[in-house]
Amino acid sequence: QRDLLVELDQILAQKEIIWFQKSRCKWLQMGDRNTRYFHGTSIVRRQRNKVVKLMNDNNEWVT
């Protein structure tokens, strides 16, 4: 059973790499055009990386 779990883990890791490579290929094929797809992905990335609030030294949230 342990061997099967190790094999499953390897297969899932390989699939993750394949999907990452496919997304990279799509970007390379379409280039850096301002298409709806790339505009949407950049908006999602910007929202995910946005800092909305921070905790100061007094353990208070600052916006």
Q: Looking at residue 29, what is its pLDDT?
A: 64
pTM: 0.38
Between CA 42 and CA 35 the distance in angstroms is 11
Q: Looking at residue 25, what is its pLDDT?
A: 66
Q: Looking at residue 63, what is its pLDDT?
A: 79
How many domains, in total, are found in the chain? 1
Give the residue among 14, 35, 17, 34 at the shortest CA–CA distance from 25. Answer: 17
Q: Which residue has the tokens 């850096």?
A: 32
Neighbours of 38 (CB within 10 A): 15
Enumerate the β-bridge partners of residue 23: none
**Which domain does 48 fall in, by range?**
2-62
Q: Looking at residue 33, what is its pLDDT?
A: 63
Written as tens digits, the pLDDT of the chain (63 aa) is: 788 888 998 988 898 888 777 776 666 666 666 677 777 888 888 888 888 888 888 888 887
